[in-house]
Chains A and B, each alone.
Chain A
Amino acid sequence: MDHPTELQTQPAAVRVRGIVKSFGTGDTKVTVLRGIDLDIYLGEMLLLVGESGGGKTTLLSAIAGILDIDEGNIDVLGVPLSDLPAGKRTTFRGQTMGFIYQQFNLLPALTAAENVAVPLLIQKIGRSEALRRARAMLDRVGLGDRTEFLPKNLSGGQQQRVAIARALVNEPRLLICDEPTAALDGPNGQKIMELLREVGRAPDRCVVIVTHDSRIFHFGDRMANLTDGRIVGIESITREGTA
């Protein structure tokens, strides 16, 4: 079960209480989340693990505010996300969150630097300033010499690095990662997780990662296990292994 850490002495950055989410209606109705309670703290990297269909991605989507929940509350950085109207939720998401996806979701027509600049452009930051910051961020993830490459000319690992740079360029307080290593081989997956810990994890940021990949479990600070729509266990992790 969960072991208290020094981080948990402060208020939770993400506070999930009793959320329920179903899909479909009538006989085809499937309840995916069945009353989830979860706290995520600034400075920590939380892994959401569990069997397929257990509700990990649905929970991640709900925390990100891109999926409406049926019941319960989600507070992110003190803002009741589930009560915000869609437009304000979108703005809030753009200002406070960064996303890393399993399939990278880079825009194929844009160079690496332009892809990284997209969240800044959405925030109406000027193109030249956005590109300057994007190049600096690519430098931080080790792609300073690939800024003008199109995604198709980058390897899978490099594309995920671009995605990490894009997620971090607007300095989000909450970093949402969906299976960030699933499309990569073992060594590249390890490198991506090392990078995420190195540049993604920060004292004023929490990182939530959905993963199946047991080879990267040791990178997290805590690990929440979702099974059949419920959290069945939360463990703290030491760098050497599970505590």
Chain B
Amino acid sequence: MADRINLVMKLNGEERSVNVHPFARLLDVLREDLRLTGTKEGCGEGECGACTIFLNGQVVNSCLVPAVQAQGAEVITVEGLARGGELSPIQAAFVAHNGAQCGFCTPGMLVAATDLLNRCPNPTEDEIRDGLAGNLCRCTGYSKILDAVQTAAADGASR
């Protein structure tokens, strides 16, 4: 039986602290303790990407991260992508291209696409497919998602 820890994170730009079991999944801490339910649980085994978040600037599957490993970390979830009530360019492109069908994969897709464009502002189609390879869409709406990422990249390049 482990002692609970006071987990302190910079979460979506704000310092937050929460008392949790050190082996609790970061996914559950975000959804259950911090009520940030944008991050979804799909497979629970790091395969579907629905729980994708940024941990210290890198995309990770939050279902595979024990809380203790997020101690002192910077965490960004899908709720942290919009700024001042304005959708981020990739979010706006998903809306414009109907990049969400049932919407369950969308938070993970948005985080992975944001990471891709951060690393690679002008990706080829192959690079987009590679960047989103860890995110599954059961509606199989991949072509509209590709369109959205390409549009966001083109808009970013033209600005």
Bound together = no
Residues of chain A touching chain B, judged by Cβ–Cβ distance below 8 Å, are: none
